[in-house]
Amino acid sequence: MSKHTPSPRSAATGLVGPDLASLAGLLADGTRAAMCLALLDGRAWTATELARHTGVAPSTATGHLHQLVSGGLLAEERQGRHRYVRLAGSDTAEMIESLASHAPLRDTPVRSLTDAHRRRALAHARTCYDHLAGTVAVAITEAMTERSLLTWDYGPALSEAGRVWLRDLGVEDHRPRGSRRAHVRTCLDWTERRPHLAGAVGAALCQHALDDGWVIRRGSSRVVTLTPHGRTLLHDQLGITEETLTSPDTDAF
């Protein structure tokens, strides 16, 4: 995951321990935390875009980004004269999403009807880096569990029936060769406070949902909306109710 500066050696033991305080310090600043949350959409952003998103001056954003890159939470990409940043990897994204799920919810003023619609749409269905999150993702995870496609005997795992189900849908359920990523894991959803599917299987299912037209992205945000095809498929395959699958703000964007 992130490559943080190790803590000094203990004079008594000679051991090097993880510098958790250094990691916490990176996210203790509200602007840096907001940047990391924005980057959960999986895209690469410029410093100017992140400055605009967080409401700070470009020079201030650049300083924060330098700290996040140096601390290993973000990776830098260059294309010609342009500099982009993205989350360092899927494990970093899952860590940030998990921290967000444990953080207290803070009331923020709703500035417009469009803003209210967007918040409800974000809670209903969104991407969390490379997997689905929100009400729909939690419903998928619970339905897979009820149908014994997921087992929880030793943590979340695909059953043989789950492997067959994914294969029949056309979803590859194995990790990319050489990847150390968990095959199946869950994230505690920060809006639902219940787990949704993550790991290599969660990423593969999300990509298939986008490629096969179950969901469509809404603008440049993390919001996705289920299509009629996606609602029908998830209802027929997993028995998820139409009420759960229908966004309250389908026309908000």
Q: How high is the pLDDT of residue 112?
A: 60
For residues 194-209, one letter each, b for 16 or more C-beta atoms within 10 angstroms of the residue's C-beta and e for the rest, the string is ebbbbbbbbbbbbeeb
Query: Encoding tokens for residue 106?
Result: 């803070």
Asked if 66 and 144 sit in the same domain, the reply is: no
Asked if 132 and 190 sit in the same domain, the reply is: yes
Question: Are residues 196 and 136 in contact, defined by beta-carbon separation less than 8 angstroms?
Answer: no
The answer as to whether 31 is a domain residue is: yes
The answer as to whether 94 is a domain residue is: no
Asked if 170 and 230 sit in the same domain, the reply is: yes
Asked if 123 and 81 sit in the same domain, the reply is: no
**pLDDT (tens digit, 9 = 90+) per residue, 108-136?**
655 666 666 778 888 999 998 889 999 99
Asked if 54 and 122 sit in the same domain, the reply is: no
Higher pLDDT residue, 136 or 14?
Answer: 136
Whole-prediction pTM:
0.75
Asked if 58 and 136 sit in the same domain, the reply is: no
Instruction: Give the mean model confidence (pLDDT) for residues 178-186.
Output: 79
Asked if 160 and 239 sit in the same domain, the reply is: yes
Quick check: 8 pLDDT over 60? Answer: no
Instruction: Give the mean model confidence (pLDDT) for residues 67-82.
Output: 91
Predicted confidence band at 10 (pLDDT cuts at 50, 70, 90)? Answer: very low
Predicted confidence band at 176 (pLDDT cuts at 50, 70, 90)? Answer: low
What proportion of the chain, given as a percentage, has pLDDT over 70? 84
The answer as to whether 8 is a domain residue is: no
The answer as to whether 175 is a domain residue is: yes
Task: Indicate which CATH number applies to the domain containing 68.
Answer: 1.10.10.10
The answer as to whether 142 is a domain residue is: yes
Structural domain count of the chain? 2
Predicted confidence band at 9 (pLDDT cuts at 50, 70, 90)? Answer: low
Residue range(s) defining the domain that contains residue 136: 113-245
Asked if 37 and 138 sit in the same domain, the reply is: no
Q: How high is the pLDDT of residue 118?
A: 76
- Amino acid identity of residue 235, one-letter, is H
Asked if 52 and 131 sit in the same domain, the reply is: no
**pLDDT (tens digit, 9 = 90+) per residue, 192-238?**
889 999 989 999 999 999 999 999 988 767 899 999 999 999 999 99
Predicted confidence band at 1 (pLDDT cuts at 50, 70, 90)? Answer: very low
Quick check: 105 pLDDT over 70? Answer: no
Asked if 219 and 161 sit in the same domain, the reply is: yes
Rounded distance, CA 17 to CA 93, Å?
23
**pLDDT (tens digit, 9 = 90+) per residue, 127-160?**
988 899 999 999 999 999 999 999 999 889 999 9
Asked if 71 and 139 sit in the same domain, the reply is: no
The secondary element (H helix, E strand) that includes residue 20 is helix 20-28
